[in-house]
Amino acid sequence: MAVLGLATGAGHCASFGTSVRVLCQMYRTGNLTKMLSNVLIARRNLHNTQQNPLFGDSVNVLGQTYQTDDWTNISPKVLAKVGQNLHNTPCNPLNLIRKRIQNFFYNNFIKGGRPLFSVYDKISPVVTKEQNFDNLLVPKSHVSRLPGESYYLNSTYMLRAHTSAHQLDLIRTGLNSFLVMGDVYRRDEIDRTHYPVFHQIEGVRLFTSFELFQDVRDSTNLSLFEDGQRLPDRQECHTMDAVKLLEHQLKTTLYNLAHNLFGADAEIRWVDCYFPFTHPSWEMEVKFDGQWLEVLGCGIMEQQILHAGGAGEKVGWAFGLGLERLAMKLYNIPDIRLFSSKDSGFLSQFNVDNPDTPITYKPISQYPQCINDISFWIPDDFSSNDFYDIARNIGGDLIEQVTLVDTFFHPKTQRHSHCYRIVYRHLEKTLTQGEVNEIHKNIEDTAASRLGVEIR
Protein backbone atom coordinates (compact mmCIF):
# COMPACT_ATOMS: atom_id res chain seq x y z
CA MET A 1 0.00 0.00 0.00
CA ALA A 2 1.41 3.39 -0.97
CA VAL A 3 1.16 5.56 2.07
CA LEU A 4 3.31 8.63 1.66
CA GLY A 5 0.25 10.57 0.73
CA LEU A 6 -3.42 10.09 1.38
CA ALA A 7 -5.75 10.75 -1.51
CA THR A 8 -8.74 12.82 -0.59
CA GLY A 9 -10.31 13.37 -3.98
CA ALA A 10 -13.73 12.04 -4.86
CA GLY A 11 -12.45 9.49 -7.38
CA HIS A 12 -9.67 8.07 -5.21
CA CYS A 13 -6.39 7.29 -6.91
CA ALA A 14 -5.53 3.84 -8.22
CA SER A 15 -2.77 3.17 -5.70
CA PHE A 16 -5.13 3.45 -2.72
CA GLY A 17 -7.82 0.87 -2.17
CA THR A 18 -10.75 0.85 0.18
CA SER A 19 -8.46 0.17 3.13
CA VAL A 20 -6.82 3.51 2.60
CA ARG A 21 -10.15 5.27 2.57
CA VAL A 22 -10.69 3.71 5.95
CA LEU A 23 -7.20 4.84 6.97
CA CYS A 24 -8.05 8.36 5.80
CA GLN A 25 -11.10 8.29 8.02
CA MET A 26 -9.06 7.01 10.99
CA TYR A 27 -6.36 9.59 10.24
CA ARG A 28 -8.89 12.41 10.47
CA THR A 29 -10.44 11.12 13.68
CA GLY A 30 -7.04 10.60 15.37
CA ASN A 31 -7.66 6.86 15.93
CA LEU A 32 -5.00 5.99 13.43
CA THR A 33 -2.42 8.11 15.23
CA LYS A 34 -3.20 6.36 18.51
CA MET A 35 -3.11 2.89 17.01
CA LEU A 36 0.16 3.53 15.16
CA SER A 37 1.90 5.05 18.17
CA ASN A 38 1.12 1.89 20.11
CA VAL A 39 2.46 -0.32 17.35
CA LEU A 40 5.66 1.73 17.07
CA ILE A 41 6.26 1.76 20.83
CA ALA A 42 5.66 -1.97 21.04
CA ARG A 43 8.04 -2.47 18.16
CA ARG A 44 10.77 -0.36 19.78
CA ASN A 45 10.37 -2.17 23.09
CA LEU A 46 10.77 -5.49 21.42
CA HIS A 47 14.27 -6.30 22.56
CA ASN A 48 15.64 -8.88 20.21
CA THR A 49 18.67 -10.64 21.66
CA GLN A 50 18.92 -13.06 18.75
CA GLN A 51 20.90 -12.45 15.59
CA ASN A 52 19.01 -11.53 12.47
CA PRO A 53 18.05 -14.91 11.01
CA LEU A 54 18.84 -13.86 7.43
CA PHE A 55 21.93 -11.70 7.79
CA GLY A 56 23.50 -12.35 11.21
CA ASP A 57 25.21 -9.36 12.84
CA SER A 58 25.50 -7.14 9.82
CA VAL A 59 24.22 -6.57 6.34
CA ASN A 60 26.30 -5.24 3.45
CA VAL A 61 24.66 -2.83 1.03
CA LEU A 62 26.58 -1.23 -1.82
CA GLY A 63 29.90 -1.87 -0.10
CA GLN A 64 28.85 -0.46 3.30
CA THR A 65 28.27 -2.58 6.38
CA TYR A 66 25.26 -1.94 8.61
CA GLN A 67 24.78 -3.55 12.02
CA THR A 68 21.48 -5.39 12.13
CA ASP A 69 19.01 -4.86 14.98
CA ASP A 70 15.35 -5.49 15.69
CA TRP A 71 14.36 -3.06 12.91
CA THR A 72 16.19 -5.02 10.20
CA ASN A 73 13.56 -6.31 7.81
CA ILE A 74 15.23 -6.13 4.39
CA SER A 75 15.01 -9.38 2.43
CA PRO A 76 17.75 -10.97 0.29
CA LYS A 77 15.44 -10.70 -2.73
CA VAL A 78 15.11 -6.95 -2.34
CA LEU A 79 18.79 -6.57 -1.49
CA ALA A 80 19.62 -8.23 -4.81
CA LYS A 81 17.83 -5.37 -6.60
CA VAL A 82 19.88 -2.66 -4.92
CA GLY A 83 22.51 -1.37 -7.33
CA GLN A 84 20.75 -2.59 -10.47
CA ASN A 85 20.14 1.04 -11.46
CA LEU A 86 17.74 0.26 -14.29
CA HIS A 87 17.17 4.00 -14.77
CA ASN A 88 20.83 4.24 -15.82
CA THR A 89 20.92 1.01 -17.87
CA PRO A 90 21.01 1.63 -21.63
CA CYS A 91 18.15 0.10 -23.62
CA ASN A 92 16.00 -0.40 -20.51
CA PRO A 93 12.51 1.13 -20.86
CA LEU A 94 13.06 3.03 -17.60
CA ASN A 95 16.25 4.54 -18.98
CA LEU A 96 14.50 5.52 -22.22
CA ILE A 97 11.60 7.26 -20.48
CA ARG A 98 13.92 8.90 -17.96
CA LYS A 99 15.89 10.41 -20.90
CA ARG A 100 12.65 11.70 -22.42
CA ILE A 101 11.66 13.36 -19.16
CA GLN A 102 15.14 14.79 -18.64
CA ASN A 103 15.16 16.18 -22.20
CA PHE A 104 11.74 17.73 -21.62
CA PHE A 105 13.12 19.70 -18.67
CA TYR A 106 16.38 20.52 -20.47
CA ASN A 107 14.49 21.85 -23.50
CA ASN A 108 11.77 23.76 -21.66
CA PHE A 109 13.67 25.33 -18.77
CA ILE A 110 16.76 27.23 -19.89
CA LYS A 111 18.48 30.05 -18.04
CA GLY A 112 21.42 31.96 -19.50
CA GLY A 113 21.68 29.40 -22.31
CA ARG A 114 22.05 26.46 -19.87
CA PRO A 115 19.53 23.93 -18.55
CA LEU A 116 17.92 25.23 -15.37
CA PHE A 117 17.47 21.83 -13.73
CA SER A 118 20.49 19.85 -12.58
CA VAL A 119 20.12 16.07 -12.56
CA TYR A 120 21.16 13.63 -9.82
CA ASP A 121 20.82 9.98 -10.79
CA LYS A 122 23.48 8.24 -8.72
CA ILE A 123 22.54 9.06 -5.13
CA SER A 124 22.63 5.94 -2.95
CA PRO A 125 19.18 4.57 -2.04
CA VAL A 126 20.38 4.00 1.53
CA VAL A 127 19.12 6.94 3.58
CA THR A 128 18.45 7.66 7.24
CA LYS A 129 14.94 7.65 8.67
CA GLU A 130 15.56 11.34 9.25
CA GLN A 131 16.05 11.94 5.51
CA ASN A 132 13.11 9.80 4.50
CA PHE A 133 10.64 11.08 7.09
CA ASP A 134 11.69 13.78 9.60
CA ASN A 135 13.20 16.17 7.04
CA LEU A 136 9.88 15.99 5.21
CA LEU A 137 7.73 16.64 8.29
CA VAL A 138 6.24 13.15 8.18
CA PRO A 139 4.55 12.81 11.60
CA LYS A 140 6.08 10.29 14.03
CA SER A 141 2.82 8.35 13.92
CA HIS A 142 2.45 8.34 10.12
CA VAL A 143 1.58 4.94 8.72
CA SER A 144 4.50 5.00 6.25
CA ARG A 145 6.98 4.68 9.18
CA LEU A 146 5.63 1.28 10.17
CA PRO A 147 8.08 -1.60 9.77
CA GLY A 148 5.49 -3.26 7.60
CA GLU A 149 5.67 -0.43 5.07
CA SER A 150 9.40 0.16 4.41
CA TYR A 151 12.67 -1.77 4.23
CA TYR A 152 14.93 -1.03 7.20
CA LEU A 153 18.63 -1.95 7.42
CA ASN A 154 18.54 -1.10 11.11
CA SER A 155 16.97 1.46 13.43
CA THR A 156 18.86 4.31 11.70
CA TYR A 157 19.12 3.36 8.03
CA MET A 158 16.56 2.29 5.46
CA LEU A 159 16.13 2.00 1.71
CA ARG A 160 14.50 5.24 0.59
CA ALA A 161 10.75 4.91 0.13
CA HIS A 162 10.69 7.93 -2.17
CA THR A 163 13.14 10.28 -3.89
CA SER A 164 11.73 13.12 -1.76
CA ALA A 165 14.24 11.85 0.85
CA HIS A 166 16.90 13.99 -0.89
CA GLN A 167 14.93 17.25 -1.14
CA LEU A 168 16.26 18.94 1.98
CA ASP A 169 19.92 17.92 1.51
CA LEU A 170 19.97 19.31 -2.03
CA ILE A 171 18.21 22.55 -1.05
CA ARG A 172 20.81 22.94 1.72
CA THR A 173 23.56 22.87 -0.91
CA GLY A 174 21.97 25.98 -2.43
CA LEU A 175 20.25 24.35 -5.40
CA ASN A 176 17.05 25.94 -6.71
CA SER A 177 16.00 23.57 -9.50
CA PHE A 178 16.85 19.89 -9.59
CA LEU A 179 15.71 16.44 -10.63
CA VAL A 180 16.57 13.32 -8.59
CA MET A 181 16.17 9.95 -10.28
CA GLY A 182 16.47 6.64 -8.53
CA ASP A 183 15.22 3.31 -7.28
CA VAL A 184 12.83 3.37 -4.31
CA TYR A 185 11.66 0.55 -2.05
CA ARG A 186 8.36 -0.10 -0.28
CA ARG A 187 6.84 -3.15 1.34
CA ASP A 188 3.94 -2.65 -0.99
CA GLU A 189 1.41 -5.06 -2.40
CA ILE A 190 2.30 -6.64 -5.74
CA ASP A 191 -0.22 -6.38 -8.54
CA ARG A 192 -0.48 -4.98 -12.07
CA THR A 193 0.47 -1.45 -10.96
CA HIS A 194 2.36 -1.96 -7.67
CA TYR A 195 5.82 -3.42 -7.12
CA PRO A 196 8.07 -3.27 -4.02
CA VAL A 197 11.00 -1.86 -6.04
CA PHE A 198 10.25 0.92 -8.44
CA HIS A 199 11.74 4.17 -9.71
CA GLN A 200 10.86 7.79 -9.19
CA ILE A 201 11.91 11.17 -10.49
CA GLU A 202 11.72 13.99 -8.00
CA GLY A 203 11.52 17.56 -9.26
CA VAL A 204 11.99 20.70 -7.17
CA ARG A 205 11.81 24.30 -8.35
CA LEU A 206 12.29 27.28 -6.01
CA PHE A 207 11.42 30.88 -6.84
CA THR A 208 12.38 34.26 -5.48
CA SER A 209 9.61 36.84 -5.45
CA PHE A 210 11.14 38.43 -8.55
CA GLU A 211 11.25 35.11 -10.44
CA LEU A 212 7.68 34.15 -9.61
CA PHE A 213 6.09 37.49 -10.42
CA GLN A 214 8.32 38.61 -13.29
CA ASP A 215 5.73 37.86 -16.00
CA VAL A 216 2.84 39.55 -14.16
CA ARG A 217 2.04 42.91 -15.77
CA ASP A 218 1.62 44.98 -12.61
CA SER A 219 3.52 43.13 -9.91
CA THR A 220 4.44 46.05 -7.66
CA ASN A 221 1.95 45.12 -4.91
CA LEU A 222 2.51 41.36 -5.05
CA SER A 223 4.39 39.48 -2.36
CA LEU A 224 5.06 35.85 -1.54
CA PHE A 225 4.27 35.93 2.17
CA GLU A 226 1.62 37.11 4.62
CA ASP A 227 0.47 36.11 8.10
CA GLY A 228 -2.73 34.19 7.63
CA GLN A 229 -4.52 30.97 8.38
CA ARG A 230 -3.91 27.54 6.89
CA LEU A 231 -6.77 26.82 4.47
CA PRO A 232 -7.47 23.89 2.16
CA ASP A 233 -5.91 25.82 -0.71
CA ARG A 234 -2.88 27.47 0.95
CA GLN A 235 -0.39 27.48 3.82
CA GLU A 236 -0.73 30.11 6.55
CA CYS A 237 2.36 32.06 5.35
CA HIS A 238 1.63 32.15 1.60
CA THR A 239 -0.32 34.80 -0.30
CA MET A 240 -3.06 33.64 -2.62
CA ASP A 241 -1.21 35.34 -5.51
CA ALA A 242 1.90 33.26 -4.89
CA VAL A 243 0.01 30.00 -4.47
CA LYS A 244 -2.11 30.44 -7.59
CA LEU A 245 0.94 31.22 -9.73
CA LEU A 246 2.86 28.26 -8.30
CA GLU A 247 -0.08 25.91 -8.83
CA HIS A 248 -0.52 27.12 -12.40
CA GLN A 249 3.22 26.69 -13.20
CA LEU A 250 3.42 23.27 -11.57
CA LYS A 251 0.30 21.86 -13.18
CA THR A 252 1.11 23.32 -16.60
CA THR A 253 4.61 21.85 -16.46
CA LEU A 254 3.39 18.37 -15.56
CA TYR A 255 0.42 18.54 -17.94
CA ASN A 256 2.76 19.49 -20.81
CA LEU A 257 5.14 16.70 -19.83
CA ALA A 258 2.30 14.16 -19.88
CA HIS A 259 1.13 15.35 -23.30
CA ASN A 260 4.69 15.36 -24.58
CA LEU A 261 5.01 11.69 -23.54
CA PHE A 262 1.53 10.40 -24.36
CA GLY A 263 0.32 12.68 -27.15
CA ALA A 264 -2.32 15.38 -27.27
CA ASP A 265 -5.24 12.93 -26.95
CA ALA A 266 -4.21 11.40 -23.61
CA GLU A 267 -6.91 11.69 -20.93
CA ILE A 268 -5.50 13.30 -17.81
CA ARG A 269 -7.09 14.48 -14.56
CA TRP A 270 -6.01 16.02 -11.23
CA VAL A 271 -7.06 14.66 -7.85
CA ASP A 272 -6.64 16.60 -4.57
CA CYS A 273 -4.59 14.71 -2.02
CA TYR A 274 -2.48 15.01 1.12
CA PHE A 275 1.30 14.80 1.62
CA PRO A 276 3.03 15.90 4.84
CA PHE A 277 5.62 17.84 2.81
CA THR A 278 3.39 19.82 0.41
CA HIS A 279 0.23 21.86 0.79
CA PRO A 280 -1.89 22.02 -1.22
CA SER A 281 -1.13 18.69 -2.94
CA TRP A 282 -2.37 16.89 -6.02
CA GLU A 283 -1.98 13.61 -7.86
CA MET A 284 -2.19 13.21 -11.61
CA GLU A 285 -4.04 10.28 -13.10
CA VAL A 286 -3.99 9.15 -16.72
CA LYS A 287 -6.47 6.89 -18.46
CA PHE A 288 -4.75 3.58 -19.19
CA ASP A 289 -6.55 0.49 -20.44
CA GLY A 290 -9.89 2.12 -19.62
CA GLN A 291 -8.92 2.86 -15.99
CA TRP A 292 -7.49 5.87 -14.17
CA LEU A 293 -3.87 5.24 -13.17
CA GLU A 294 -2.11 7.48 -10.63
CA VAL A 295 1.27 8.45 -12.06
CA LEU A 296 2.59 11.25 -9.84
CA GLY A 297 2.17 13.28 -6.68
CA CYS A 298 3.01 16.99 -6.37
CA GLY A 299 2.32 20.19 -4.51
CA ILE A 300 3.46 23.49 -3.06
CA MET A 301 6.41 22.80 -0.77
CA GLU A 302 5.87 23.23 2.96
CA GLN A 303 7.60 26.52 3.83
CA GLN A 304 9.09 24.92 6.96
CA ILE A 305 11.23 22.69 4.73
CA LEU A 306 12.55 25.65 2.77
CA HIS A 307 13.37 27.40 6.05
CA ALA A 308 15.27 24.34 7.27
CA GLY A 309 17.15 24.28 3.96
CA GLY A 310 18.22 27.92 4.26
CA ALA A 311 15.86 29.02 1.45
CA GLY A 312 13.11 30.51 3.63
CA GLU A 313 12.86 33.64 1.51
CA LYS A 314 11.82 31.56 -1.52
CA VAL A 315 8.74 29.49 -2.35
CA GLY A 316 8.64 26.30 -4.37
CA TRP A 317 6.86 23.40 -5.94
CA ALA A 318 7.86 19.75 -6.01
CA PHE A 319 6.71 16.55 -7.67
CA GLY A 320 7.46 12.82 -7.59
CA LEU A 321 6.84 10.77 -10.75
CA GLY A 322 6.42 6.99 -10.83
CA LEU A 323 8.59 5.91 -13.76
CA GLU A 324 7.20 2.38 -14.21
CA ARG A 325 3.61 3.63 -14.38
CA LEU A 326 4.52 6.36 -16.89
CA ALA A 327 6.40 3.77 -18.96
CA MET A 328 3.41 1.40 -18.81
CA LYS A 329 1.27 4.09 -20.40
CA LEU A 330 3.95 5.25 -22.88
CA TYR A 331 4.85 1.78 -24.20
CA ASN A 332 1.53 0.06 -23.50
CA ILE A 333 3.06 -2.40 -21.02
CA PRO A 334 0.13 -4.15 -19.32
CA ASP A 335 1.82 -5.27 -16.08
CA ILE A 336 4.46 -3.60 -13.87
CA ARG A 337 6.00 -7.01 -13.06
CA LEU A 338 7.41 -7.11 -16.59
CA PHE A 339 9.98 -4.43 -15.66
CA SER A 340 11.82 -6.87 -13.42
CA SER A 341 11.92 -9.40 -16.24
CA LYS A 342 15.28 -10.39 -17.63
CA ASP A 343 13.47 -12.05 -20.54
CA SER A 344 15.13 -11.01 -23.74
CA GLY A 345 11.68 -10.98 -25.36
CA PHE A 346 10.80 -8.01 -23.15
CA LEU A 347 14.13 -6.18 -23.04
CA SER A 348 14.98 -6.52 -26.72
CA GLN A 349 11.91 -4.46 -27.61
CA PHE A 350 13.59 -1.43 -26.03
CA ASN A 351 16.95 -1.88 -27.70
CA VAL A 352 17.12 1.59 -29.29
CA ASP A 353 19.59 4.43 -28.91
CA ASN A 354 17.16 7.27 -29.55
CA PRO A 355 14.69 7.63 -26.63
CA ASP A 356 12.15 9.28 -28.96
CA THR A 357 11.79 6.09 -31.05
CA PRO A 358 8.08 5.12 -30.87
CA ILE A 359 7.75 1.68 -29.25
CA THR A 360 4.58 -0.29 -28.59
CA TYR A 361 5.16 -3.33 -26.44
CA LYS A 362 4.20 -6.67 -28.02
CA PRO A 363 3.30 -9.44 -25.56
CA ILE A 364 6.13 -11.90 -25.08
CA SER A 365 5.63 -15.24 -26.74
CA GLN A 366 4.67 -18.09 -24.40
CA TYR A 367 6.66 -20.51 -26.55
CA PRO A 368 10.18 -21.66 -25.60
CA GLN A 369 13.36 -19.96 -26.77
CA CYS A 370 16.07 -21.67 -28.83
CA ILE A 371 19.55 -20.30 -28.26
CA ASN A 372 22.37 -20.79 -30.79
CA ASP A 373 25.84 -19.28 -30.66
CA ILE A 374 27.96 -18.28 -33.62
CA SER A 375 31.74 -17.64 -33.47
CA PHE A 376 33.94 -16.26 -36.22
CA TRP A 377 37.25 -14.58 -36.93
CA ILE A 378 36.62 -11.00 -37.98
CA PRO A 379 38.38 -8.92 -40.64
CA ASP A 380 39.89 -5.52 -39.68
CA ASP A 381 36.97 -3.47 -40.98
CA PHE A 382 34.30 -5.58 -39.23
CA SER A 383 31.36 -3.82 -37.55
CA SER A 384 29.01 -5.66 -35.17
CA ASN A 385 26.07 -3.61 -36.47
CA ASP A 386 26.52 -5.13 -39.95
CA PHE A 387 26.20 -8.57 -38.40
CA TYR A 388 23.10 -7.57 -36.43
CA ASP A 389 21.51 -6.36 -39.66
CA ILE A 390 22.20 -9.63 -41.44
CA ALA A 391 20.82 -11.68 -38.53
CA ARG A 392 17.65 -9.58 -38.33
CA ASN A 393 17.13 -9.55 -42.09
CA ILE A 394 17.32 -13.32 -42.30
CA GLY A 395 15.65 -14.27 -39.00
CA GLY A 396 13.03 -11.49 -38.95
CA ASP A 397 10.58 -11.71 -36.06
CA LEU A 398 11.88 -15.13 -35.08
CA ILE A 399 14.95 -13.45 -33.64
CA GLU A 400 14.35 -12.05 -30.21
CA GLN A 401 17.87 -10.93 -29.43
CA VAL A 402 21.43 -10.93 -30.75
CA THR A 403 24.26 -10.16 -28.30
CA LEU A 404 28.04 -10.20 -28.40
CA VAL A 405 28.86 -12.62 -25.58
CA ASP A 406 32.62 -13.11 -26.00
CA THR A 407 35.66 -11.65 -27.76
CA PHE A 408 39.06 -13.30 -28.16
CA PHE A 409 42.46 -12.23 -29.53
CA HIS A 410 44.83 -14.91 -30.83
CA PRO A 411 48.36 -13.75 -30.04
CA LYS A 412 50.03 -15.96 -32.66
CA THR A 413 47.79 -15.26 -35.63
CA GLN A 414 47.04 -11.72 -34.37
CA ARG A 415 43.36 -12.25 -35.23
CA HIS A 416 40.25 -11.22 -33.31
CA SER A 417 37.26 -13.45 -32.88
CA HIS A 418 33.67 -12.63 -31.82
CA CYS A 419 31.01 -14.92 -30.41
CA TYR A 420 27.36 -13.86 -30.75
CA ARG A 421 24.38 -15.46 -29.05
CA ILE A 422 21.17 -15.49 -31.06
CA VAL A 423 17.89 -16.11 -29.22
CA TYR A 424 15.13 -17.47 -31.46
CA ARG A 425 11.45 -17.62 -30.50
CA HIS A 426 8.23 -17.82 -32.48
CA LEU A 427 5.20 -15.82 -31.37
CA GLU A 428 2.69 -18.55 -32.22
CA LYS A 429 4.38 -21.94 -32.06
CA THR A 430 7.31 -23.92 -30.68
CA LEU A 431 10.28 -23.73 -33.06
CA THR A 432 12.05 -27.04 -33.71
CA GLN A 433 15.84 -27.15 -33.40
CA GLY A 434 15.90 -28.20 -37.07
CA GLU A 435 14.07 -25.04 -38.17
CA VAL A 436 16.38 -22.89 -36.07
CA ASN A 437 19.52 -24.62 -37.39
CA GLU A 438 18.45 -23.87 -40.95
CA ILE A 439 18.07 -20.14 -40.26
CA HIS A 440 21.26 -20.11 -38.20
CA LYS A 441 23.21 -21.73 -41.05
CA ASN A 442 21.85 -19.16 -43.47
CA ILE A 443 23.05 -16.35 -41.16
CA GLU A 444 26.52 -17.97 -40.91
CA ASP A 445 26.84 -18.35 -44.69
CA THR A 446 25.64 -14.80 -45.37
CA ALA A 447 27.98 -13.30 -42.75
CA ALA A 448 30.90 -15.23 -44.28
CA SER A 449 30.16 -14.14 -47.85
CA ARG A 450 29.13 -10.52 -47.16
CA LEU A 451 31.32 -9.52 -44.22
CA GLY A 452 34.38 -11.69 -44.88
CA VAL A 453 34.23 -13.38 -41.47
CA GLU A 454 35.62 -16.88 -41.06
CA ILE A 455 33.35 -19.21 -39.08
CA ARG A 456 35.24 -21.08 -36.31
Report the partner that residue 443 touches, choosing among ligand FA5, Mg ion, none (CB closer than 5 to 8 A by kind).
none
Q: Which stretch binds ligand FA5 (CB under 6 A): 36-44, 50-58, 192-200, 217-225?
A: 192-200
3, 5, 143, 163: which one binds Mg ion (CB under 5 A): 5
Query: Cβ-closest residue to ligand FA5?
Result: 322
Nearer to Mg ion, 276 or 297 (CB): 297
Q: Within 162-291, where are the H helices? A: 167-172, 209-213, 240-262
208: left (phi over 0), alpha (psi -120 to 50) or beta: beta
| Opening angle at CA 449, ends 447 and 453, nearest 5 | 55
Q: Which stretch binds ligand FA5 (CB under 6 A): 219-227, 314-322, 399-407, 415-423?
A: 314-322
Q: Does 276 bind Mg ion (CB under 5 A)?
A: no
Min separation Cβ 53 and ligand FA5, Å:
26
Min separation Cβ 136 and ligand FA5, Å:
8
CB proximity list for 65: less than 8 A, separation 6 or greater = 58, 59
Q: Which stretch binds Mg ion (CB under 5 A): 73-81, 91-99, 119-127, 291-299?
A: 291-299
Buried b (16+ CB within 10 A) or exposed e, 21-59: eebbebbeeeebbeebeebeeeeeeeeeeeebeebeeeb
87, 129, 142, 194: which one binds ligand FA5 (CB under 6 A): 194
CA within 13 Å, CB half, 153: 22
Min separation Cβ 305 and ligand FA5, Å:
10
Nearer to ligand FA5, 247 or 283 (CB): 283
The rounded distance, in Å, linking the Cα atoms of 148 and 73 is 9
Report the partner that residue 439 touches, choosing among Mg ion, ligand FA5, none (CB closer than 5 to 8 A by kind).
none
Q: Does 198 bind ligand FA5 (CB under 6 A)?
A: yes
Nearer to ligand FA5, 125 or 297 (CB): 297
Q: Does 247 bind ligand FA5 (CB under 6 A)?
A: no
State how far the alpha carbon of 106 is from the alpha carbons of 16, 178, 252, 317, 425, in Å.
33, 11, 16, 18, 40
Min separation Cβ 297 and Mg ion, Å:
5
| Opening angle at CA 283, ends 282 and 287, nearest 5 | 140
Q: Which of residues 283-302 bind ligand FA5 (CB under 6 A)?
A: 283, 294-299
Min separation Cβ 71 and Mg ion, Å:
25
Q: Which of residues 13-32 bind Mg ion (CB under 5 A)?
A: 15
Buried b (16+ CB within 10 A) or exposed e, 85-94: bbbeeeebbb
Q: How many residues bind ligand FA5 (CB under 6 A)?
A: 30
6, 8, 12, 15: which one binds ligand FA5 (CB under 6 A): 15
Omega prior to 280 cis, within 30 of 0: yes
Q: Which stretch binds ligand FA5 (CB under 6 A): 151-159, 219-227, 274-282, 399-407?
A: 274-282
What's the burial of 389, exposed, middle or buried (CB within 10 Å: 0-12/13-18/19+)? middle
Min separation Cβ 160 and Mg ion, Å:
16
CB proximity list for 140: less than 8 A, separation 6 or greater = 37, 40
- CB contact at 8 A, 256 and 223: no
Min separation Cβ 432 and ligand FA5, Å:
40
- CB contact at 8 A, 299 and 275: yes
Nearer to ligand FA5, 5 or 309 (CB): 5
Consecutive H or E run containing 375: strand 370-378
- CB contact at 8 A, 100 and 87: no
Report the partner that residue 324 touches, choosing among ligand FA5, Mg ion, none (CB closer than 5 to 8 A by kind).
ligand FA5
Closest CA to 294 of 327, 330, 261, 269: 269
Q: How far is CA 333 from the centre of its chain?
A: 15
State how far the alpha carbon of 117 is from the alpha carbons of 79, 203, 204, 354, 392, in Å.
31, 9, 9, 22, 40
Q: Within 361-432, where are the H helices? A: 384-395
Report the partner that residue 235 touches, choosing among ligand FA5, Mg ion, none (CB closer than 5 to 8 A by kind).
none
Q: Which stretch binds Mg ion (CB under 5 A): 5-13, 179-187, 193-201, 338-346?
A: 5-13
Chain positions contacting ligand FA5, by CB under 6 A:
2, 4-5, 15, 162, 164, 186, 188, 194-195, 198, 200, 202, 275, 278, 281, 283, 294-299, 318-320, 322, 324-325, 336
Name the residues that contact Mg ion, by CB under 5 A: 2, 5, 15, 297
